Every structure is written in C-alpha cells, then in structure tokens.
Amino acid sequence: MTRGGDQPGPRDAAEVDLDFFILDSGPTVEPLYTPDSLRSRGIDPERDIGVPAAYPYTRGIDKTPPRAHQPLIKFYTGHAGPEETNDRYRKLVGWGVEQIQMATDLPSQIGFDPDHLMATGEVGRAGVSIASLADMEVAFEGIPLNQLSRVGMLFNCDGPVGLALFVALGEKQGLRVEDYIVDLQNDPLKEYVARGTQFLPIRSALRLACDVVEWCARKAPHWYPLDVCVNHLNAAGAGSTYGTAFALSNAEAYIEELLSRGLTIDEFAPMLMMFLDERDDFFSAVANIRATRRIWADLMKHRYRATDPRSMALQITAYGHGRETRREPLNNIARIAFGTLAYYLGGVQTLYDASFDEVLSVPSDDAARVSVRIQQIIRQEHGFGLTVDPLGGSYFVESLTTDLERGIRKALAEVEEMGGAISAIENGHMRRVIGEGAVRRQKRFEAGLRPMVGVDRNVDNNEGAIAIPLNRVDPAVEERQKERLRQVRAGRDGAHVRKSLAAVLEAARAGSNVVDPCIDAVRAYATVGEICDVFREAFGEWQPSTEF
C-alpha cells in the first residue's frame, strides 16, 4: 500500500487490496454486474423496481422528470445576529434559493437565552441567535414568508417553540398559515445519540415533537412538521445503512405516538419527510434513497395500513456533501457537486448542499453562492433532469439498492426486536454502533483505505497556496443580542407573558398539546429560554453520559 505518494505502483488485480471495494454502507462492490446479478438477488423488476410514482416508489414519487418538477433549492444558513442573517437571506433569495432553512445557534436550539451562563461564547456561532419573535422579525425583514417556497428551522428539541415562532412571524407579516409553508426538522430522538442538543428526558422530547405534528395535521396539513434524519446519525459514525435503519426506527416511534393520540396514519404520514444521507460513495447515495423509499412504502402499506398513496410516497430531503477537507478547500467544490448530483439523480424533493469553506468556518458569501450555483448547474446544464430515475434499471444500481435494502431491514429488525428506538437509545445500542463505526472509519482513513486527494494522496507540499478568507463572527454580536433581549423584556406586557407561560406549563403538565399556548407565549415576546425553562420545570432535565 502506498500512502503519501502520488501513485501506487503498477500491480495486477489480484494484488489490489479487497478492502478498497468494501463500501462504507456495507456491501462489497463487484467488478461486473449483469442480469445474473438481479436474478441471484431475486429481484423481480415489476414488483421491486416498478414505475415512478407508483408503489413501491423505488423509482421516485414523481411522474414527471426533475426538469419539469425540480427539487427545491434549499439553503441552510444563519450566523451572528439577525441583522447579518437577514443580509445573507436577501442575497440567497436574489441568487435563486427557494427554501431557507434557518441555522440557529446552539443556545437557541437548547433553550438558553443569550444572557444565560451556558450561552457564553456561543451566541451567534454555528447559527443565528434567535431569542424571541423580535429576532425573527429582523431576520425576515423584507422577506415575506410566502415569497419563499418553504421556510423552516431545526429546533429539534424545542419544536413547538420553532413552530410558534413561524406562526407568530407569519401573523406579523399579515399572512395566514395557508399562505406559506413551514418545514421543521423537529426530530429529537437522533439528538440523544448523534447531535447533542437534547435537554429534556427523551419521552418528553418525543411528545413535544409529536405535538408539532399533531398541530399541523389539524391546522396546517400542507406544512412539513418533521424531517426524520439519517444525516447526523451517519455523520456521527453509524454509516448510512445503520443510520437509515435507526432513523426509520425513530420514525416508527413518532408514528406510534401519533397513532396513540387517535390520528389516522393518512392524516399525518404525507407530512413526514426523511433527511437521508450517504456522503462516502456516489452510487451508495443513489441506492440508499431508492432502497429507503421502497422500505417506507412497504411499512406504510403493510404495517400501518395506509391507503393514501401520499403516505406511501416518501418525501426526501438531502444535504449534498463530500468528505470535505481543510487542505486545498476549493477541491471541496468538486466533492460537494458529486454528492449533490447523487441526490438529484436519486430523486429527492428538496435539496441543499454544503459550502466549500464549511469545514473551516461559517460559509462566506462567495462560498454560499457557489453552493447555490452547483444546484443550478445540475438543474440546467447537461441533461441530469431530463428523465425520471435515469439510473434505474442499471444492473449495478438495482443490485446495490437491494443489497442496501437488506442491510437496512436487518438493522431495523434488530432495533425492533429490542423494543424500538427508545429502547435502542436507552440500552446504548445506537450509541455503540455509532461509536464503533466512527472508530472503524477513522482506522480506514488512517490506513489510507478511503483516499483523500490532497491529504493522503497527491499531496502538494507547498500547501496553503490558496488562502480562504474566513467568515468571522464579531464578538460584539453577543452583547448586541443581550441588549436586544433587555429591550424586549422591558417593552413587553409582563402580565401577558406570565399568563401565557403559565398556560404552557399547565398544558405540559396536563399532557395536552402545547403548541397553541406556545404560540400565545411567543406572540407576547416570551423568550425561547423562558419557554424552554417551562419545559424543564414540567419534565425535568436530561443528564449527559460519561461513557465513550
């Protein structure tokens, strides 16, 4: 094995290390796929592949090709204060972005106001600081929510607050919920094993997430209240096969909670999305999407007895990534473009992509624009979007789709045998698989089995020739946000705030839906931290684990 050099020496096929052909997603790629590959896997083209927009949805949920029905160009961003973020949003809209997914800072996601001790140094980092409706008003100044195809944020562990912020902002802008579309990530379960913004006991978090879905089912059925995420599970180390299985088990936990509230599957399943992710290998990304659609359709039809085809047709979002490197960061443009193209060809509904400088800092304007352009190039140049599922029917892609489907189903069955997602989180199964996967990946990387051009191959020893300007967050933002918070608290109707927070507490304790009381509290300019403190009071707090 050659490392660090330019080229491995000449060697015959028998000498090539077979480890190179083992995908991060599990299967080993064969040198040739033929009709026999399909036969040996028992693939029945009519039953298993079918046609687009029909069960089992392997080939996608749309009848028309992407050229006629493009996946939305989504952008995940937000940094510093709402002013800086508004500036970025206006530019994004100008460049052609159709969905803005707000990146908020960690204090906002974990329910700490900017003046909380735990928020020290974190305000406006990794996302925009959103402490109250006042910050939302600034962030979306001059951008009516109905001017975008969709708008949303993560708020995985404080989903009802995120939903309330958008409802109240819409009201401020003179809009009704019918006029715009909100897309929330609102997927707390994966936070406990992979992303880390959990702050409540897990069952309480599950319940709050389902309050959001239930509210939307009744009052805004055209919204997307929950994106069940593979992304963070995979990135943390699970790999896309286990990550998809864990996400599906999380989806089952949400679905079972919602069914237990008396909703029917067809009342809410069409609103659910999955955030799929496979960034190590192009064809695995395509096959993972196709396999997951097939599994979802089967689950909906046979386990949950859905009858509405929209429940069975899984809507997918994805984040185009490569394995971006710090060295020679412009190379990341190529990596991101390949990752994004895989999702486009796999047939997703909304698509965003990373920025080439993201591994270094919050993306700069220039890098953000390149990300938008990557999607626009895929959409319009070449013929990527001229036909539905252009890779469907490939012996390789169909074989890999089936191989991945089997791996995902097996890993899902393991979780189901343990009693489902919450058991697999609480008994350490998910965390163990993720931890082992992260170690396995690191070892493969260290062994040079997943080459990184410019890092462990084709290394330029004059590294640093291209300097990337870093996008800095001004430390003054933290003080500015604390000052706005003081003004908000001084200027609001204290009695209304107290009454509305008491109503949130009462709903939380009574087990009734907290969304309407949260909307009222947000309207009164109660802060994210204050509402989350009510949740803490009602439910208690999550405690971190020191296992590794």
Partner 1 sequence: MPGPIRVLIAKVGLDGHDVGARVVARGLVDEGMEVIYTGLRRTPEQISAAAEQEDVQVVGVSILSGAHLVLLPRVREALNERGLEQVMLVAGGIIPDSDIPTLEASGIDAIFHPGTPVPEIAAAIKKRIGLTHDIDRTDRNHRNDREERSR
The residues binding partner 1 (CB under 8 A) are 106-107, 110, 112, 117-122, 125-126, 191, 194-198, 235-237, 326, 359-362, 434-435, 438-439, 442, 445-446, 455, 470, 473, 475, 544-548
Q: Shortest distance, CB of residue 533 to partner 1, whole angstroms?
A: 16
How far apart, in Å, do the first and last CA atoms of the chain sit?
31
| Nearest-approach distance from CB 547 to partner 1, in angstroms | 7
Report the residue number, 221 or 475, with the smaller CB distance to partner 1.
475
Nearest distance, CB of residue 532 and partner 1, angstroms:
13
Nearer to partner 1, 362 or 372 (CB): 362
Residue nearer to partner 1 on the CB measure, 7 or 543: 543
CA distance 265 to 267: 5
Q: Helix (H) and strand (E) counts for the chain? A: 20, 8
260 or 545: CB nearest partner 1: 545
Tell the smallest beta-carbon distance from residue 482 to partner 1 (Å). Answer: 14
Could you tell me the smallest distance in angstroms from the CB atom of residue 341 to partner 1?
24
User: Nearer Cβ to partner 1, position 107 or 225?
Assistant: 107
Asked if 299 and 42 count as a contact pair (C-beta separation under 8 A), the reply is no
Find where tokens 């892609």 sit. 397
Helix (H) or strand (E) holding 106: helix 106-110
CA 424, CA 62: separation in Å to the nearest integer?
Answer: 34
Give the separation between CA 303 and CA 194, rounded to whole angstroms. 27
Handedness of CA 521, 525, 526, 529 (dihedral sign): positive
Q: How far is the CB of 119 from partner 1 (least distance, A)?
A: 7
Cα 153 to chain centroid distance, Å, stands at 10
Is 112 or 223 the residue whose CB approaches partner 1 more closely? 112
Distance CA 206, CA 274 (A): 17
Output the smallest distance, CB 232 to partner 1, in A. 9
For partner 1, give the closer residue by CB, 418 or 438: 438
Residue with smaller CB distance to partner 1, 107 or 407? 107
Shortest reach from residue 210's CB to partner 1, in Å: 22
Number of Cβ within a 10 Å radius of residue 42: 9
Radius of gyration of the chain (CA): 23
382 to each of 130, 283, 341, 377, 443, how far by Cα in Å? 41, 19, 12, 8, 38
